[in-house]
Amino acid sequence: MSEPEHHSSPANQQWRDQVRRFAEEAISPLSTGMDRTGELDPGLREQLFAAGLMSVEIPRGYGGTGGTLLQLMLAIEEIARVDPGVAVGVDVHNVLVAGTLLRHATGDQRRQYLPLLATAKVGAFALSEEQAGSDAFALTTTARPDGDGYRITGRKRWTSNARNADLLLAFALVEDSGPTAFLVPADAAGLSVEDHAEQMGVRAAHTADVVFDGTPVRAAQRIGSVGGGQTVAMAALDLGRLGIAAQLVGLAQGALDLAVAYSRSREQFGSRIADYQGVQFPLADAASQLAAARALLYESVDVFQRDTDAVKRMRFAAMAKYTASQIAERAASVAVETLGGNGFTDAYPAERLYRDAKAGKIYEGTSNVLLRNISSIMLGVSAGD
């Protein structure tokens, strides 16, 4: 067995530094505006493609960056240090859409769609519905056979990247077969995107509803087998939990960096607030928890790269995402409190990071769902027991 890829190897450290510079120079100046508008800056979209951040795992032969899964997680982490919302959009595109095609599409499908996703077209993942959130496969969206293809009818909810998407990986029920995955162009007949409600955080990757009204798809647009959509989706969501764990680790690091820098410059009672234990100890506690979450994330990535055991992958993905969500919320809270009154205003990024962190305990598996998954695997009982 080959040696595991190390996150601090020279190549990976160079990649991390490259993404960090891009995030600080290209994303950071736009973050406040994107948070206020709830939209990804159009110019930034083009820059993300040009920097290879929308094609990290896509092989060079398809026009991609040709990187590894670990390098994708490092990129998401570094982007999230500056803007967790942008990181979510990059994650959904790379992990849930391009990653699914890499692992489940046919050769013809990869040749047709991966070059588009690598260079210009944004992908979205359309699974959730009004009554299909944590119970992800309580689907009502249907795909009715029609000639040599299907017609999809239904409404998807909370679809990240929907406003910007060119291609949607959508899941629908085929009668007598079950959930099935389809790749649907955003300009397909009968497909529309509708805003549902404003969200409190990760606003650069604002969610929206996707409505299918008899939308035609060809059989060649089906990803995997008829009725095989649950397998496709669960594999994608396990990887997606790693992506969200990376986003939350990056968010926590950004919050901690902000709090440490502020504590060194802010003076009260004739001393820097960094000199007071009441400031020092919460920061030290957050830094310790963050180091543990980051180590678990990297170990989980190694499991995905080197182990084919689906149950083991599921357990590590759930643990990594759960742990990262805990420290992200904690670090963001410590940052707000360290900045005091300034942390409660939009003059500093702390309040935005605090809002962004809350989503970490909700999307890609709520904390209770993750704990149920972990415990059922540990104890050898069914998730419903």
User: Per DSSP, which regions of the chain are E strands?
Assistant: 123-126, 142-146, 149-160, 167-174, 178-185, 191-194, 207-218, 222-223, 267-268, 271-272
User: How is residue 190 written in tokens?
Assistant: 């009968």
Distance, CA of 266 to CA of 271 (rounded, Å): 8
How are beta strands 222-223 and 178-185 bridged, if at all?
A: antiparallel
Distance, CA of 102 to CA of 109 (rounded, Å): 9
291 within 8 A of 323, measured Cβ to Cβ: no
Q: Is the dihedral of CA 139, 142, 143, 144 positive or negative?
A: positive
Location of structure tokens 């059922």: 376
User: How is residue 162 written in tokens?
Assistant: 């929907």
User: Per DSSP, which regions of 231-329 are E strands?
Assistant: 267-268, 271-272
Is 364 catalytic? The answer is yes
Distance, CA of 35 to CA of 85 (rounded, Å): 8
What does R_g of the chain's alpha carbons equal in angstroms?
21
Cα–Cα–Cα angle for 251, 256, 261, nearest 5°? 130
Distance, CA of 344 to CA of 352 (rounded, Å): 10
Query: Of 129, 329, 351, 364, which residue is the catalytic one?
Result: 364
Active site residues per annotation: 364
